[in-house]
Each structure stands twice: as C-alpha cells, then as structure tokens.
Chains A and B, each alone.
Chain A
Amino acid sequence: MSNIDRRTLVKGSLAAMMAGAAFSRAALAQSSEPILLGVSGPLTGPNAQYGTQWKQGFDLALDEIQAAGGINGRKLAYSFEDSQSDPRQSVAIAQKLVSDPRIVMELGDFSSPASMAASPIYQRGGLVQFGFTNSHPDFTKGGDFMWSTSVSQADEQPLLAAYAVKRLGLKKLAVLHLNTDWGRTSRDYFVKAAKEHGAEIAVTEGYIAEERDFRSTLVRVRDANPDGLILISYYSDGALIARQARQVGLKQVICAASSVYSPKFLELGGEAVEDVHVGTRYFPEDPRPEVQTFIAGFKKKYNGVEPDAFNAYAYDAMNMAAAVVKIGGTDRRAIRDAFTKVKDVSSVIFGKATFDVESRRVKGAMNAELVVRKGQFALWDGKPT
C-alpha cells in the first residue's frame, strides 16, 4: 500500500519537475496526498465542547466532499491543533501552521483573544485565517488574509429585534447577555434595532461565562417590569436562565439569539424552555436542499442526534473551504484571492454564500423564527404564547 503511495508520489513530483511550473497544478491533482487544512481550536480546556462540535461538522462535510470526488481528484483533510482557546498556544500553532508547507489555509480559532492574537502571524506569513465563529467586528480588520463566515451581529440582531418587537409585539424588554466581546457587540446592535422598532429597553444585564446562578439578576429584571426577556446567550447559560426565570415565577415571553439553537438547550432547559422563541438561521423542516442534506446526513452519521448551530457553522466552513480550494488550488496567495472569486456556495446559514470583498465577511444570513413546542423546535405559527 505505502509502496504504491510513495511511487505515485514520486511519479507525481517527477512529473511536476519535468513539466515545470505551468503544469504543476495538474501534477498535484494526481498526487494522492490529501490537501491539508490547519484548524486551531479548543479540544481541551473550558471551551472544549465547541471544538468537539466543530469536528462533527467538519467530518460530515468532508464525507460529502470526498464522496463527490474530493478537490479535483484529491482528498481534503484537516489537522486539528488544540489551542485550549489560549492566545499563548494559538500563536505557537499559527507559526506551526504557517511553516508547514502542506497547510494551504487555516480555520479558527474559537475565542477572540486566541484568534486575534494569532492574526498578525497569519497575515505576515501569508496564510489565510478563516475564522468562522469570529464575530468580533475587528477580526477581519487584521489584514487581507482574515476572512470570516461568522454571521455579523449587525445582520443577526436586527432580525431578532424584529422578531421580538414587531412579530411578538413586545414593547418593554429586558436584555440578558453574555459579557464577552460577542455578547456585548450583539447587545448593542440589538438595543439599537429594538429602539428603532419602537420598543423600550427596561434593563440590560451582562453576566460572565462561568455564571450559573441568575436568581438575583432575575429579581432586577422583575423589578424593571418588562414584557419580554431577550437572551443573548449560548445554549448552556440560556437554559439556566430560562429555568431560573420560571422557578422565580417570571412568566414573560422569552426570546433568544440563534446561539441557543441546540438540542442541548432543550435537554438542559427541560419544561422551562417550552414556548421560548428563537431566531435562527435554519430550522429542521426547512425545505432548502442544503439544510435537508445537512440534517439528514448529520443524524445518520451521529446516531440520530440533531445538529446545533456550532455544527452548522463548522459544516458550512468546511464546504466553503472546499469551494475556495477548488478555485485557488494549493497556493496560499491564490487561495486568498479565491475568497474574492468564490460565488454562491451553498450554505446552511446563508443559503448561498458570497463574500463581501470590502469587509471580507458574508452578508445576508437566512432567517427562521422558531419556538419551542412540546420539547421540540418548531416554526412559529404566529400564535401568541
């Protein structure tokens, strides 16, 4: 086996040498070595769960990409480097990936401190840093090698505000948000949009990621007398807040950002998340073919488990990477340029994703207005809860 591999490799490189630079791409296409992407993300440490979800999304996308014949006949693969979302480790990983000639581009990292600390190294090293969960407004300002498919909060939050204020008719809102760069940026966009729709913001409360007890926060919320609670949370803290809100007797409508969209939210929240409204980018019964392929494929691969938002981001990111590499080949600069050329890549989150070359982000995320009914996410039927 390995003999044959080596022989083809030798043949490939000999051919490349003989044919010269002009034909190098054809020679590479013959090579049996997979095209390698570097991933920098948390597999251990406090954010390990998100790295695990990335892997699930990546692996599913890769199965489909390989089944469709790979990239011009070559397989696509990734090498996952655990950063623990720690900037010290992500910068070392960045150097490692930049100096590894096999790596054609990089995906990640998860948190802003880890990702943006590594950006200067990727920028100077001329390797694309494709941050697909990096919503920090300054992420893509790190240089022309920084690209992101993370849904811009300037896009997402007005959709949520429209759902809460115009569709659900909430007039006086309490906003609870994760006090991170993401939560803070989201809150600001949400508050702005909600005010434009004519709602009043009764109170906003930021909490740190490790917080588990929200009872006292909820007393503040109660005293502000809102008619709706907005959660800018991840699924685990979102579920905690919903549970405790119901336990302390708050009966207001709860409306949450798409990041709670996960089967874990239902599992952790139990009865308390019944009737919680969630603005998401896709939903299980969405007739779009890319959504149906994604959900069916995911359930098949992972024993019937429903995918969540982070799985979808990773799945989309890998498909985007494949599309970009198809155009750009294996040259790092050509790959960067390919980001400007790639068009209408089918995507769970965006439908058809095309980069805005100016901001190096994708605009126009899809919108679905869901509500939890009988322990399942369902499309909201317009009935008040």
Chain B
Amino acid sequence: MSSWLDYTINGLIVGNVYALVAVGLALIFGVSRLINFAQGSIYLVGAYIGWVAVVQLHTPLPLTIIVVAVAAALVGLIIERFGLRPLQNSVRIAPLLATIGISFVLDQLVMLTFSPNPRALPSQLPDIRFQIGGGTIGPLDLLIAGVGLTSALLLFVFLRYSKLGWAVRATAQDRDAAMQMGVDVNRVNQAVFGIAAALGGVSGLLVGMYYNQIDTAMSLQATLKGVVAEVVGGAGNVPGAVIGSLLLGLVESYGVAVFGTSYRNLFAFLLLVVVLVLRPNGLFASARQAPPEPLTGTFIAPSRPVRIPRWALLIATAVFAILPLLPVSFYVLQTLINAWLLGMLALSLTLVAGTIGQVSLGHAALLAIGAYTSALLSLTFAVPVGLAIIGGGLMSAALGTALISPSFRLRGHYVSIATLAIGEIVSLVILNWESVTRGPIGISGIPPLSLFGYELVSPISIYWFSFIVMVVLALLQGRLLGSHLGRSFRAIRDDDIAARAYGLSLNRYKSLAFIFGGFAAGVSGGIAAHLYSYINHETFNTQQSILALTVVILGGLGNVVGAILGAVALVGLPEVFRIAAEYRILIYGIVLLLLVRFRPQGLLGTM
C-alpha cells in the first residue's frame, strides 16, 4: 500500500531530525558517561543565534551555520569549564544535576532576551519539492540528513583513527588509566563538549528552519527525544545514535498510522523500554564492549552525612507543628503544604534513588497513579477520602512496582532513562484511556480532604494533615533504614555483585523499596488530588519528576531529613524570588548551580 511508503518516509524524515540531537548526546555520554540535559538548551541557543544571523544580519546559509556552530561550541566550552569541570572529582550524580541547572539558566536567558513568543526562522534554501511516494521532500531534508550522517561518520573516523580520538576513547574507558598514560583528560573533555555543542547548535538552527518556527519551549522536548534515540542505539555509540533516531522516527510514524496521532509518543517510549529490557546496552552494543556503567557503586558515592542531633530535629518538628498557631499568613502555610507534599515524593525517591541506587526520572507517574486512584475511588465509589488516599498509595505501590520491575536488571543511567520512559507512558495512558481517566478533560469536582466525616478545608487543617502524614512516613522510613532491610538496600547500591554473592535477592529488595516508595508517592498524589479538586494528564508532568530528583540530590541521596529540607528549599526558593518576577527561575537555576558546585554530595550528605 502506498500509504505505508509515505509513513516510512515520514518516519525517516523525523528520525533524521532526532539524529542531530542524539549524536551530540551520544558523544558526550561516550566520554563522560553523562546524560547532558543541557543539550536541548544548546540546541535552543543555536536556534536563536541562527535567528539573529538570518533575520537581523542576513547572513548566507554557510556563514550562518559556521556562526551558529562557533557560538554554540563556545557555550559548550563555557559549560564544560565552569559548570562541569569543578565537579570532576565529586559524586557521579552531581554533573547530572549541574546540567539540569545549566539548562534552566540557558533557557531562561534565551526567554528573557528574546521574549517567549515563537518566531519564524525562514529557511535560506530554495523552495523546491521532490515528489517521493505520496509526499514530497525538500532540500532542507537532504541537508539535515547530510549533516546528521556526515557528522556521525566524521566522528566515527575521528574516534577510531585520530590520536585525539584515541584519547577520547581511552578517557571514556578508564579516566585514571588515561591520565596515567599522559592523556590530557581536560583537553579531551573540552574537545568533546565543543564538538557536541556545535552539533547541538546547528541542529537547533536546522530544525528551526525546517519548521519555520523556534520557541523557548523546544529545549526539553529535544532533550527527551534525543535521549530516547541515543539509548535505543546504544548510549555512547555515535553511529548507533543515528540508527536509533531513524528507528524512533519509524516507530512513531507507524504508531500514528495504526492507532492515531495521540498515541505517537506512547510508541516512542514503549520502544525505549522494550529495547532497554531486551538489550540493556542498546541495539548496537558489541558483545565485547565493557559494561557502560561501573560495576560497583561509584555512581552514588557515599559521603559523610551531616549528623543532626535528635533534639534539633525534635525542636524543628515542634516549630513546624505549632506554626499555624503563630501569626503566619495562609500563603506561607500553603507554600509549606506544597513542600510537605513534595517532601513525601522526595522521601519516596530518596529511598529508591539514594538508598538502593535506582535513580528514577519518572516519579511523577507515581503521583499521578495515586491521584487518579484516590480521585476515582472517592468520586465513583464514594469511598471516604481518607481511605481513598490510602487506596491511592497502595495502587501506586503495586502498579509502580509492576511497571518498573522489568528494568530491575538495569544499572546507573539506564534506570533513569527507563523510569523517564515509564513516566511518560503513564501520562500518555492517562491521556488516552478515556473510559477510565476521562482523557484530556480531566477529573473535576474531586471532594475536598476529609477525615472521619470532618472536612479539612482550612489551610491550617490541611497543613497539619499533610505535615503529620509526612512525619509519619519519614519516621517509618527512618526505622526502615536503620533495620537490616536498610542495610541490605545500601549493600545493593554500593556493590550489587557482592550483595548477590552474599545471598541477597536483588529483585526482591528492589521491589520492596519500590513498594514502600510507591506508597509514599501515591499518598502525596492522592492528597494533592483532593486539595486541587481538579486533575488531568498535565497536572503531574516530567518537570515534577525532574524537580523531585533535584530535591533528592540537593538534600543528599538516601537522606530522610535531607529530602524534606530539599523540598522546603526548592518549593520555598521560587516563592522567595517571586519579587524578581520573570527573573525568578533564572535566579533559581543559578542558586541550584551554586549549591551543586559547593555541596555536590547534597546539603546533608549521602546516607
């Protein structure tokens, strides 16, 4: 059928676009084992520099490409020198958080400079269309394919045959050994970041021209799709990234063909999960290749946690408990309610990410499951709200653990990527499963919080309710960490081979951690649903997952008090900076970067 030819061609065209971002991500991952969340922001910067060049300076296309490549490479070098190099010898997870902070800062700078309105970025190529099947392709398609393939090929040759390329690969395999052999590791890193950023910038330019549209929201989407494509192809494998991108494009296109447009991303993320489960190193990893993650737990390095005396904790709890009795505004209370809800989520994440080492980037999905379960139980089956919230927690625990269990065999970054995908899948299922979730219309009229027949509607009672729930969960988690179960969790995190040799069943312990964590997150989502009275598929989004991870890393991985402190800080700071209006997220990003720079192990340290 001719339509299938069209779907195939369309898939390849889109894959072509993804490849540009994926190649840059693959290169950086190949060398520094880092998912560069700032790659999408460099792509954004490239697009806007391109806009200035094309629309304001009227540069011809070759010059535009050179200008964008050079400027983006400079941005990459700055990021490497000031954002990441200082973190070289700290915890492996710190650079990840730093790239998140850098992407906040870059996106905000672009937004403040150019305003958030979308702009047209006219293509400078002649408007000729070639008929292929039922559709057409233009010169820009060919240019994008050319840039993607050429850069992948050049990088492949560079890595395989040039001296600097060898140095890059040597650094990738074993940084210390490379240093001992006289490789200037910093120069290698610089070269890699420069090249990757130049590629990222040019891809932003070309994709902007392709759609004749650039806007400040394009960066996160680019990163997400790029990461999926890269991992499908085998993280760190440059030609694999290109093939992974094309495959991703095809799967999306066929998904649209068979099921319709709103299922498109569902297939992209399902593909990712399937590939990760079947071939954890990507489709094109060679059997001889060393495992991409270290065997033992350098991913989350232990540090000396800050000891907080018991009396200090008691006093802090007491102060927060009597806070509503003091003359504080409802605004402060509401902000703290948000902090306690985020705190519950952070408790959950710090357990699975910090204590057992499964860094999840899809934790908002657990909130969503808890929220929808609790909302539907109370609305459809008239279950009392208190019980419905517990039901939400149980459902999150069960469903969350079931969803994540296929990826228990993954390590390090791959867990993060698998959970990211699962998070997106949950959100898309909520969007499409209309008979149950009411799809995009969402659920409205969710009854307010109530306990034993008494409605909790005043901010004071909601404050106490959420505070008590969080404290109870925190105490339980504290007990858990002190027990033999907690020690087993940490053993698995620090050295899973040794733990297995000692007779610990990894999957069982990972399940236990997710069950407990899922419950806490589900309860948080359930409370939020009754607080908001309305939820839809956008209420609990990827940004929330990223925020939760930021909280946990900031507080110190595995650290119960740290998670709560981090939640208060990250809910509070944007509110404190409210006075700065449009600049507040920029300031927030900078503060985040400074915190990572000076406390890479988190405020209270890893436990």
- Report which of A136, A179, A207, A249 forms a contact with B135, defined as CB distance below 8 A: A249
The binding surface of chain B is classed by DSSP as helix
Chain A residues with Cβ below 8 Å from B531 are: 91, 117, 120
Residue A46, interface by CB 8 Å = yes
Flag whether B442 is at the interface (Cβ < 8 A): yes
Contact with B along A75-109 (1 / 0, CB 8 A): 00000111010111101101110110000000000
- Quick one: which of B94-135 are within 8 Å of A by CB? 108, 111, 115-120, 122, 129, 134-135
Task: Say how far B528's CB is from chain A's closest CB, in angstroms.
Answer: 8
Contact of A49 among B116, B138, B528 (CB under 8 A): B116
Question: A99 near B330 (CB under 8 angstroms)?
Answer: yes
A358 contacts B by Cβ under 8 Å: no
- Cβ of A381 under 8 Å from chain B: no
CB pair B574 A249 closer than 8 Å: no
A141 CA to B215 CA, complexed, in Å: 35
Determine if A322 is an interface residue (Cβ-Cβ < 8 Å).
no
Q: What are 29 A-to-B residue pairs whose CB atoms are below 8 Å? A: A44-B108, A44-B116, A48-B111, A49-B116, A80-B581, A82-B578, A82-B584, A88-B338, A89-B574, A92-B334, A92-B335, A95-B329, A95-B333, A98-B330, A113-B532, A113-B539, A120-B448, A120-B532, A179-B431, A180-B538, A184-B440, A205-B260, A208-B431, A210-B221, A213-B10, A216-B253, A216-B256, A248-B136, A268-B118
Q: Is B546 an interface residue (CB 8 A)?
A: no
Q: Which residues of B, 440-459, contact A by the 8 Å Cβ criterion?
A: 440-442, 444-445, 448, 457-459
The reply on A264 being an interface residue by CB < 8 A is: yes
Interface of A is mostly: helix
**Does A300 sit at the interface, judged by CB under 8 A?**
no
Answer yes or no: A25 CB below 8 A from chain B CBs: no
B162 CB–A CB distance under 8 Å: no
Which of B6, B117, B431, B444 sits near A141, CB closer than 8 Å?
B444
Other-chain residue from A44, A88, A216 in contact with B10 (beta carbon distance below 8 A)? A216
Q: Which residues of B contact A176 (CB under 8 A)?
A: 261
Q: Which residue of A is nearest B213, CB measured?
A: A268
- Chain B nearest CB from A38 CB (Å) reads 12
Whether a CB of chain B sits under 8 angstroms from the CB of A215 is yes
Which 9 residue pairs across A and B have the least CB separation, nearest first? A117-B532, A116-B534, A48-B116, A95-B334, A96-B331, A215-B10, A216-B256, A138-B444, A248-B135
**Docked complex: B314-335 residues within 8 A CB-CB of A:** 329-331, 333-335
Tally of B interface residues using CB under 8 Å: 78
Q: Is B598 an interface residue (CB 8 A)?
A: no
- CB neighbours (8 Å) of A180 from chain B are 440, 538
Cβ-neighbour of A215 out of B14, B329, B445 (below 8 A): B14
- In the assembly, what is the distance between CA of A49 and CA of B264, in Å? 26
Contact of B533 among A116, A136, A179 (CB under 8 A): A116
Contact yes or no, A243 B257, CB < 8 A = no
Query: Closest residue of chain B to A111, judged by CB?
Result: B538
A87 and B533 contact, CB distance less than 8 A: no
A219 B331 Cβ-Cβ under 8 A? no
| A371, CB-defined interface residue at 8 Å | no
For A91, the chain B residues whose CB sits under 8 A away are 334, 338, 531-532
Chain A residues with Cβ below 8 Å from B118 are 49, 236, 264, 268
A181 touches B581 (CB 8 A): no
A149: Cβ under 8 A from any B Cβ: no
CB < 8 Å: which of A95, A138, A179, A216 contacts B7? Answer: A216
Q: Are A181 and B457 in contact (CB under 8 A)?
A: no
